Structure 1
Amino acid sequence: MIIKPFTFANQFFSHSSAKNLIISQQNNPNFLSTLKKYTLAAYEVSLKQFVNDDRDFITAYLVNTIDFIDTWNDASIQKMSIDACDKRYLELVITILNEYCHDTVSVYL
């Protein structure tokens, strides 16, 4: 979840009972925007269990990095793969993860 957020989200939604609803709303930007905001807010709450210090700042930084990559990728002509999004995310947050997150996260880095 914390190391590969794009893979995690993709696996979660592909196995979710809401999958058909989400697919049916692909042309509804208001629904997708609301879903994204809700998902990122829930993800931020979940992240706090992994962060040692300065929880609000660090989790907001991580979530906003995910949002930035996702928004940038959506606007790009040539889309990055989920793996490429996860890789870019790690490139941008690796220092934060190593410095502020529990040792259990470091095992995966």
Structure 2
Amino acid sequence: MQLGFFTMQPHLAIDVPGHGKVVVDISYGGTFYAFLSAEQLGLDVCSSKTRDLVSAASAVTEAVKKQVKLHNPESEDLAFLYGTILTDGKDAFSEEPTTNICVFADEQV
């Protein structure tokens, strides 16, 4: 069995220390990521400082790791959250260009 890209848990409410409740989508595309708009964290993906975006995304990653049990049917070794992707909030399926920042591993961007 090979897994492609899919959303595992859409619209999941997570309590992020310092930011309150946010809604994330947990998706898989080779590894698991949390997706949410930067606006939910009081930030703008295009104009906020990179350090602020990285700190907020890392807080989301840690909160999801503590609050969500992930499962990978191919291998439980792959059942972990690798990072968080902050978006500009635009629909990724629209014709309009979108912007995001992916923060993964040890706060790599």
Bucket of the pairwise TM-score, normalised by the shorter protein: 0.3 to 0.5
Structure showing the higher helix proportion among its residues: 1
Q: Provide TM-score, normalisation by structure 2.
A: 0.35
RCO comparison, higher one (Cα < 8 Å, 6+): 1
Q: Provide TM-score, normalisation by structure 1.
A: 0.35
Structure showing the higher strand proportion among its residues: 2
Q: Which has the larger radius of gyration?
A: 1
